[in-house]
Structure 1
């Protein structure tokens, strides 16, 4: 039996023709992955019509002007109202922040929201995500076996930049794959 290899801290890059419109051209950061589950957040799709200032204001958290226009991401189709702050691990809350990968953490508290807007004491890089993607026992491994996803190393610049239109193609390019050369058709030899 093969030894389990966690994908936490790695990217899932959707193959063309994934068959689920919620994940077309998706770039997902895997935040947790065990033998019986996986959880990740999509880092390439801003939520339409909402910015960080609006979320902070709605939650009665101090909303500095710098938060205006700052995108809020659609993290995935599960619990779409639940917020997570993806951030660098230079800022953490004991027993609340979940570190993973190389220098990353996920925190789901008001303190994390406030820290996002504090350039002196907050994390160096951060983004707010609403919802997440989840997989049950063996589901992600099955999808990987069916070539639904490619896996790639996570790159901080790709994770936190705001060039959303090219993120998928750039994630593929990091693997040496030209997006224009991929087909939505698959087969077995």
Structure 2
């Protein structure tokens, strides 16, 4: 029985680039998928640095950063779309029952079913600036997106491997090791993957 392409739901999954993918942005990338529907897909690359630190980013937006645990963290290159905008991937924010009636804590947050939350509004940076905010965060500039059917087509061409996401890989594994650790989730090593896969 073959799965209808519309039934593939890769939210809270990793896309792992196959070796044959040589595009500069996506080569050896691991992407956390935030949205996936018949209309398209959206995710954040979690293993490529944008060459600025969190402290530098907060300086640029005129906010102090009072979270010592985050000061030296790199800001990541999340993808080629809207590279001037910040996207904050973070642990789900638990609200006290009395606060739930007021709605979400942040103005613009996407909750990934079974997974993390992604916030694009400045108020999450303000919370971090004050020393509060979500416990674990990853900040990217830009995101990756696919139009209707585009990701399914790339999957059919063996461009990507997919695996349910591990939040430990996102938050606890050093940047340079995330590609190999994502492959470990599938029981694979990078040397096992031939760039010629699927083209015999």
Shift of the 52–162 alpha-carbon distance from structure 1 to 2, 3 Å rule, reads: farther
Mapped partners of 1:133, 1:150: distance in 2: 16
Query: After superposition, where does 1:46-61 map in structure 2 within 5 Å?
Result: 46-48=49-51, 50-61=52-63
Name the residue aligned to 1:44.
Answer: 47
**Would the aligned equivalents of 2:154 and 2:160 in 1 still touch at CA under 8 Å?**
yes
Shift of the 118–179 alpha-carbon distance from structure 1 to 2, 3 Å rule, reads: farther
Give 1:100 deviation, angstroms: 0.3
1:109 and 2:121 correspond: yes
1:13 and 2:16 correspond: yes
Give 1:12 deviation, angstroms: 0.2
TM-score between both structures, scaled by the size of structure 2: 0.86
Q: Which runs of 5+ in 1 are unaligned?
A: none
1:167 and 2:178 correspond: yes
The range that moved more, 96-105 or 26-35, is: 96-105
Mapped partners of 2:195, 2:85: distance in 1: 32
Q: Which runs of 5+ in 2 are unaligned?
A: 95-103
Name the residue aligned to 1:179.
Answer: 190
Aligned residue for 2:7, secondary structure, equals coil
Mapped partners of 2:65, 2:106: distance in 1: 24
Aligned residue for 1:83, secondary structure, equals strand
